[in-house]
Structure 1
Amino acid sequence: MTDLPFTTIEAVDSVFLYIFGISGLLLLGITATMVVFVIRYHHRRHPQPQPSPSSKLWLELVWTLIPTLIVLSMFWYSWEGYLKLRDVPPDALKVQAEGRKWSWSFNYENGRSSDRLYVPVGRAVRVAITSKDVLHSLYIPAFRVKMDAVPGISTYVWFRAPEAGSFDLFCAEYCGVSHSSMTTTVEALPQEQFNAWLKHGKKAATVEGPALLTRHGCSGCHSLDGSQRIGPTFQGLLGRQVRVVSKGQEQNLIVDRSYVQRSILQPQADLVQGYPPVMPSYQGQIPSDELQLLVDYLCSEALSIVPAGP
């Protein structure tokens, strides 16, 4: 059996174990010394203070040089690990991650996009990270990687999934009221399954409505079941009468397709009363075909009927 390629897990865990091991040994040594001193120099054994030399050069050198060497070794070992975390293998798969309140989207070189990060097992993956609005932070604890997503700046991480599975991905930077909902998963697939998934890149715009809601962050503020969130619920949307503020004037509107599309592209044009004006404009952010799919879904029969209460 051949050895698996280097992973970011090894880079972080080896440094952690090294520092933790040395710290544990020092703790044991200091504790043992303290216990010995308490017993040996107890006042019952020595009721009268004994004179002691003011200093010992060799002792001062020992407790200065040895801790210094230990700290320097920790720094060197950590620096070596850091360099490995920044040195991306040349054959790495390139993925673009974009954070926005409050969701992640991942785009691949062939045009495929997803609200989950799909990667092949055993191959290095370079994730370029940016943000559409505020500070976020992409954090995948299973692979020991974390990096801030900053508006206007591209950062990156890389990792290699050693085995197939589903791994949690979080936002680790507080970004607003729905920060805790900004989660998704990394789906590590065998190479053949990943290739099959990636080939459907040109069909990315035909994904179902719920997936588009998640990808573009709609689910972070709007519910599908009538529950209260930052924005109005999508349940029973079509045909609903809403009280809005339009150009400073209050009026009643009946929700139709044009209103839904206008609210996506110009969310402040007709602001529903009782909700804060925090939704960003999606003008130029959503492809026209995906926009139509969103409008179709939000105006579909699946969401047009409010179920009766129990």
Structure 2
Amino acid sequence: MTFNKIPDASNFVKGVDTSFEVILGIIFFFLIAITVTMIYFVFRYRKEKNPKATQIHGSVTLEILWTVIPTLLVMVMFYYGWMGYKPMKEVPDDAFEIKSIGRMWNWQFEYENGKKTDTLYVPLDRAVKLDLIALDVLHSLYIPSFRLKQDLVPGKEQMMWFIPGREGEYDLFCTEYCGLQHSSMQTSVIVMPQDKFDAWYVDTTKTVTLISDRPGALGLRIVQKNGCLACHSLDGSKLVGPTWKGLYGKTEIVSNKGQKREQIVDSTYVINSIYNPNDDIVEGYSKGLMLSYRNELTEEDIGEIIEFMKTISE
């Protein structure tokens, strides 16, 4: 009888698990050994058996042993930890690159052919490199089944790579507290055989064909994909930024360089607010909480967003 071993979810599972098991084994050994020794001492050196205290002047042998042995054990733990960590920084030259963007509070993945998704699709048994970008605050991309975690630091180039070893769907989420809706910053990794991935990858059918003909439907999809609704509510409630309910066409008091003025929320204002969010700050809100989407949204995208804003401002 033969048994087929289930492949690891990624090439790093074995290294990380081995390191964990070694360290955990050493911890358990000393936990048990020290506990047993303490219990033994309680009975062996209790007052009835040692009515008179004995002065101990020390032992060179013991001093050497409890210095050398912990040092060796620490080096063993370091070795397994290093052997599990080192390959994570050695990216193959032929790795398939995907830009992975974290923002408050969603993930977006951009492929070399221009595809953008909020779920990470990767081919089976092929090296994949994620170029990690944080658009606002510190995030951390964590794929527990792959044994991978890497912080995303604004303004700093970070990366992560892996080889998926098993087809399926795996959790991906942010494990660094990044604000009000941190817990909703989760998605999935979909691992597909190479032929299925290739078919998905070359399918350039626009998302618009999957969206209803209802006015503003495409704009709603765009704001959902780009995390706009994490900061702007649609029901009138106050979040990080102004609510969009009834906003388009409304006159707001805005501040620019300390000067206040009335401003009608029209197309020009919306475009400038998305590309230059710190120019005109609506009264009651703070500056510096939104970054520019100049490289993320085209004017056509913003036009669709405006059409959606109109539908909740009527």
CA shift in 2, pair 1:251/1:288, >3 Å: closer
For 2:43 and 2:87, how far apart are their aligned partners in 1?
48
Q: State the shift of 1:44 in Å.
A: 0.9
Tell me the residue number matched to 1:308: none
Provide the rounded CA distance (Å) in 2 between the counterparts of 1:205 and 1:154.
Answer: 33
% identical aligned pairs = 38
Partner of 2:313: 304
In the superposition, the TM-score normalised over structure 1's length comes to: 0.82
Structure 1 residue 188: Cα displacement? 1.4
Match of 1:15 among 19, 31, 36: 19
How many Å separate the matches in 1 of 2:6 and 2:248? 58
Q: Name the structure 2 match of 1:190.
A: 192
CA distance in structure 2 between the partners assigned to 1:100 and 1:289 by the alignment: 22
- 1:217 aligns with 227
Could you tell me how far apart the structure 1 residues matched to 2:293 and 2:181 are?
Answer: 20
Aligned with 1:233 (options 225, 230, 243)? 243
Is 1:79 the equivalent of 2:82?
yes
Task: Give ranges in structure 2 of 5+ residues lacking alignment.
Answer: 212-217
1:287 and 1:128 map into 2 onto residues whose CA distance is: 22
Q: Does 1:293 align with 2:304?
A: yes
Letter in 1 for 2:114: G
> SS state of the match for residue 225, structure 1?
coil
Displacement after TM superposition at 1:82 (Å): 0.8
1:3/1:245 CA distance change after superposition, 3 Å: closer
User: 2:262, 2:147 → 1: CA distance?
Assistant: 52
CA-based RMSD: 3.0
Query: What number of residue pairs does the alignment pair up?
Result: 299
Match of 2:141 in 1: 138
CA distance 1:224–1:181, shift in 2 (3 Å): farther
Identify if the C-alpha distance between structure 1 residues 27 and 171 changes in structure 2 by more than 3 Å, giving closer, same or farther: closer
State the shift of 1:238 in Å: 3.4
Matched, 1:180 2:182: yes
Query: Please, what TM-score do these two structures have when normalized by structure 2?
Result: 0.81
1:155 corresponds to: 158
Aligned-pair distance for 1:31? 0.8
CA distance in 1, matches of 2:37, 2:25: 18
For residues 149 and 245 of structure 2, what CA distance do their matches in structure 1 show? 36
Shift of 1:157: 1.0
**Alpha carbons of structure 1 residues 62 and 265: separation in structure 2 relative to 1, 3 Å:** closer
List runs of 5+ in structure 1 lacking aligned partners: 306-310
The 1:19–1:171 alpha-carbon spacing in structure 2 relative to 1, beyond 3 Å, is: closer
CA distance in 2, matches of 1:32, 1:121: 49
Q: How many Å apart are 1:182 and its aligned residue?
A: 6.5
Using a 3 Å threshold, how does the CA distance of structure 1 residues 266 and 130 change in structure 2: closer, same or farther? closer
